[in-house]
Structure 1
């Protein structure tokens, strides 16, 4: 009898595998979709949706939860967001990135023997941006109170069962954490024992952070009692964080540990609402935040790729991989030299950088036979009708590694280097049936974080993304009040005047590499969102690192391929001058939503590794 049933079992298994070709199923929903970096945080978004909130409300709840759970970020970090406003029918950019504090100058860091601001500690901190970003998004585009939206995060701060990934990060970095008294008190819950950090599943409590969140809610509720409206009350909480008793304790704790942030720095900082940049790729409008992020790098890449027949090359063929590598190398070189804070002079030539004519010129320079290890920034100024004021710097640009260029192996890729390449963040994706769409890539204040006093708030480490040498990038030299050029880069795509894709990914300099390939997977190769987030990627290291210690130099020709790459493609890429590395993981976890207008539904995708998670209804 058992033998007779076996063929039927195999038929059923075959049908199941055919019905679900991906390791994780596609998420489907028609009312709302909530996806982020932790299952509990996705649940926080679902709770808000179930209470009647819109996608902005839910996104803010997920943002608060991920910060509270130290999902490679904390409350003292920065928030970058794109929001589709269905009533205005436009995409809105949110710039909640902190600024360099008083005294943070290139001369200051050079006097300490640093070529870049430090990777960790109080001197790595820009002013906190996430509390202000959350309050601004909620006040301007949400429907609920701060009390409602912060409720899940406040429950988490009272105590939640911590995951192994976060707990092990605390244990791994405990020697550094011990140098900061407020961090030590929070993260090392078993001082003196062999394992000093929490164990997986242990209830992790954050009394100081809970008090900070309670104070913000108290400010909101007091304002409501005085007759203020919902928006005004939320901004009262904003003010308490940046100008009130929370700010005073944050500054005290920061300066006690050697940081530079002042009360004036916090009071003068503000969230900026912006017009995002965009380009049209074969009828699809792709939106990114402006040149204070690396987002335009993806737009430049699409402009170069638009006239190429990528589908005919074949997915992840040697020709396709070589094309992506060369295009990304050129876009990264432009990023490394020209991107910076648009609110500080000099003005970046972003119009020229994003012009189709400039893209055509850059694409025409590609060597189709082998890798070019000497790719440099181009000159976009003529495409704005201007002359390049940095021509001399450009000619001498230190974009190539030192030494004999034929000996690329002299700059090896160490584990430390890879850690700096992949330094994580999280992402938040939300959409609802009313048409609101939110894509956020928040970060900063990740473990090992230096906590500012009794606030429970980990300080950002984003100062390290500045440079101190004008020759490397004249637009991104550190100075007080300025925002560093960051890697953080959410994406929205529109088609036929409607949302088409919302997507973002974890990682540092890998983000727009991964997002570019995700987008092409869907648009050029017809993958659904889950197939696209699971598909093998390539990664280039031919750029200057945005994060890390002093070793930021490019690794020309070094390429990361998926372990499944066939031998004949490996051989061809080696012949073209690439040095190959292989991993089973070739992308940070990507989260995405596809808008199915034919059926009036959402398709959600979340990578098949990591802890990212989505819920739809």
Structure 2
């Protein structure tokens, strides 16, 4: 009997352990502060900053600096989008630090080059850098520490840090293109002429030019402080050195030397907007997103439509649930593709109509419940805001066009940890989530300047590739036609949800055009299907490609549907009969990072994606 117990006890304990741990990564519990981002060293930078006495904004800025220095599918020349909950005002604030198209970047310029869109790579893909300005604005306005304290982890990394395999291998895969740009070649290809020219995993990766740039920012701050300037004024002195001083001069020189268009005036005239986000109420939960310069309102439009259905009764990832969400997302992304653009440039986007509850009810009447509708186009929100649509002609013309690529059939693929599904839908971006006991909450999806990036001269700063998200033909989207000084409609989309006047969930995800698809499902996983934050982050989502991609050739693939490999055979068969072109993977949730606020116990629950290298630390 004893012998039998010795055999059975380990099996019993293993079974109990598996049942208790239903996720690949555990929930991250914390009381004082929490920091989650795309890289372990980035999370460590946040933890270090919290331990210095910084608040959630200070920590988020340190994490942004660190992940930009690590080329975590972004760099210092990219763009920053953030939502901040200010516990003093009890308001959610939007940070718009997206760069703008440079002087000379007109439709005519690209048409003469026989380009259908601005290019995917190279100096002509660049908009002005936004991340440095976004970081310094957030820190100056809402942080507590100095720029020097916040940049210290990034500066230590620029001196040299052990590069991780994911980034090192990305450099190796992109080395042919990197060799086209002399400053990029100098930084990235540490073993020129060798079989592997990129750094090896664990190699100490040094960036002296970037370190010099960051040092100049700290010097500008210290000089301002020495003359009696305040903390805020000193940080803005560093801001001015980047956008108007010697850093700007070298950035512009290096950009133009390689064929780029950015001028000193472009940098000097650019500014960060601190703005009011848009929101909607979903069953008593206020969900906040940035407005039409990113795709964030797509999630709000989708929630407005979905609140009219009993999603719980449909069942998680049932045939009807998948079909309902897919059709709703088709409609909202069709609206995104036609109506979203820079709100600081005419024409004015019809956001009031798009976010109308009545517009949502009108749209869902168009759903075909028996099969996928490959010809869904944008709706007409103007009557729902008391106006007349000036672009109906373009919509009617677009509906006459045949859908794009219908050639893809059934695909089985079991591993997509680094998104090898042959599409640009997942391009770039990381996510940053922080919160503290004082009540500050920060949600960021920084991006741009991902590998392979053009480094601008001796600054060490990789230039953004976001100009490719513009269109040059008004008939595609009259609100997003490229023009000097204008922001492209980007994919970046942090989110914050409030309940009973307090933070409820803070969430963000990398993944290009899939971002609001995955955040929508993550949110519903928690709200409708009672998953905890880690379960929801790992749960098998599904992804639609029936949208105009924001990258490369902006292709659309009607009916293409990525499902989790656990999808039952009957569900697979039925969806294919309904016109879906299905494919399967083991990672379909997108790399989601999030914080759930447990007000009953006054603690934080952190969810950190099991998709790649995302990592969180709490205390």
So what's the TM-score if we normalise by structure 1?
0.97
Cα separation, 2, equivalents of 1:64 and 1:478: 29
The match for 2:516 among 512, 516, 527 is 512
Which residue does the alignment assign to 1:522?
526
Which residue does the alignment assign to 1:384?
385
Residue 408 of structure 1 and its aligned partner are, at CA, apart by 2.8
> Quick one: structure 1 residues 113 and 310, their matched pair in 2 at CA, closer, same or farther if it must change by over 3 Å?
same
SS in 2 for 1:108: helix
Cα separation, 1, equivalents of 2:181 and 2:312: 53
Q: Give the number of equivalent residue pairs.
A: 612
The match for 2:455 among 443, 451, 455 is 451
Which residue does the alignment assign to 2:68?
67
Residue 416 of structure 1 and its aligned partner are, at CA, apart by 8.5
Cα separation, 2, equivalents of 1:257 and 1:493: 43
Cα separation, 2, equivalents of 1:168 and 1:212: 26
**8 Å Cα contact 1:39/1:614 also seen in 2:** yes
Cα separation, 2, equivalents of 1:73 and 1:408: 32
SS in 1 for 2:422: helix
Structure 1 residue 495 corresponds to structure 2 residue 499:
yes
Cα separation, 2, equivalents of 1:335 and 1:286: 18
Which residue does the alignment assign to 2:439?
435
**8 Å Cα contact 2:410/2:583 also seen in 1:** no
> Deviations for 1:233-260, whole angstroms, at most 9, x for unmatched residues?
0000000000000000000000000000
Cα separation, 2, equivalents of 1:104 and 1:12: 64
Please give the residue correspondences for 1:317-328 in structure 2 after superposition, counting only pairs within 5 Å. Answer: 317-328=318-329
Structure 1 residue 275 corresponds to structure 2 residue 276:
yes
Cα separation, 1, equivalents of 2:104 and 2:529: 50
> Quick one: structure 1 residues 400 and 560, their matched pair in 2 at CA, closer, same or farther if it must change by over 3 Å?
farther
**8 Å Cα contact 2:375/2:403 also seen in 1:** no
Cα separation, 2, equivalents of 1:2 and 1:102: 80
Which residue does the alignment assign to 1:418?
422
**8 Å Cα contact 1:373/1:400 also seen in 2:** no
The match for 1:565 among 554, 557, 567 is 567
The list of structure 1 runs, each at least 4 consecutive aligned residues, that deviate by more than 3 angstroms after superposition, is 1-4, 398-403, 410-419
**Runs of 5+ unmatched residues, structure 2:** 414-418
Please give the residue correspondences for 1:46-125 in structure 2 after superposition, counting only pairs within 5 Å. Answer: 46-125=47-126
Which residue does the alignment assign to 1:258?
259
What is the RMSD computed on CA atoms of the aligned residues? Answer: 1.5
Cα separation, 2, equivalents of 1:69 and 1:400: 43
Please give the residue correspondences for 1:106-185 in structure 2 after superposition, counting only pairs within 5 Å. Answer: 106-185=107-186
SS in 2 for 1:148: helix
SS in 1 for 2:407: helix
SS in 1 for 2:116: coil
> Deviations for 1:91-133, whole angstroms, at most 9, x for unmatched residues?
0000000000000001100110101000001000000000000
**8 Å Cα contact 2:544/2:560 also seen in 1:** yes
Cα separation, 2, equivalents of 1:448 and 1:408: 30
Which residue does the alignment assign to 2:557?
555
SS in 2 for 1:113: coil
Residue 397 of structure 1 and its aligned partner are, at CA, apart by 1.8
Residue 398 of structure 1 and its aligned partner are, at CA, apart by 5.9
Cα separation, 1, equivalents of 2:400 and 2:64: 36
**8 Å Cα contact 1:604/1:614 also seen in 2:** yes
SS in 2 for 1:510: helix
Structure 1 residue 465 corresponds to structure 2 residue 486:
no
Cα separation, 2, equivalents of 1:424 and 1:176: 17
**8 Å Cα contact 1:34/1:58 also seen in 2:** yes
Please give the residue correspondences for 1:536-555 in structure 2 after superposition, counting only pairs within 5 Å. Answer: 536-548=540-552, 550=553, 552-555=554-557
Residue 553 of structure 1 and its aligned partner are, at CA, apart by 2.5
SS in 2 for 1:409: coil
**8 Å Cα contact 1:251/1:452 also seen in 2:** yes
Cα separation, 1, equivalents of 2:399 and 2:382: 20
Structure 1 residue 585 corresponds to structure 2 residue 587:
yes
So what's the TM-score if we normalise by structure 2?
0.97
Cα separation, 1, equivalents of 2:335 and 2:137: 32
Please give the residue correspondences for 1:239-388 in structure 2 after superposition, counting only pairs within 5 Å. Answer: 239-388=240-389
Cα separation, 1, equivalents of 2:170 and 2:115: 26
Cα separation, 1, equivalents of 2:461 and 2:423: 24
Cα separation, 2, equivalents of 1:178 and 1:28: 45
Which residue does the alignment assign to 2:416?
none
> Quick one: structure 1 residues 412 and 369, their matched pair in 2 at CA, closer, same or farther if it must change by over 3 Å?
closer
> Quick one: structure 1 residues 401 and 508, their matched pair in 2 at CA, closer, same or farther if it must change by over 3 Å?
farther
> Deviations for 1:30-68, whole angstroms, at most 9, x for unmatched residues?
100000000000000000001110000000000000000
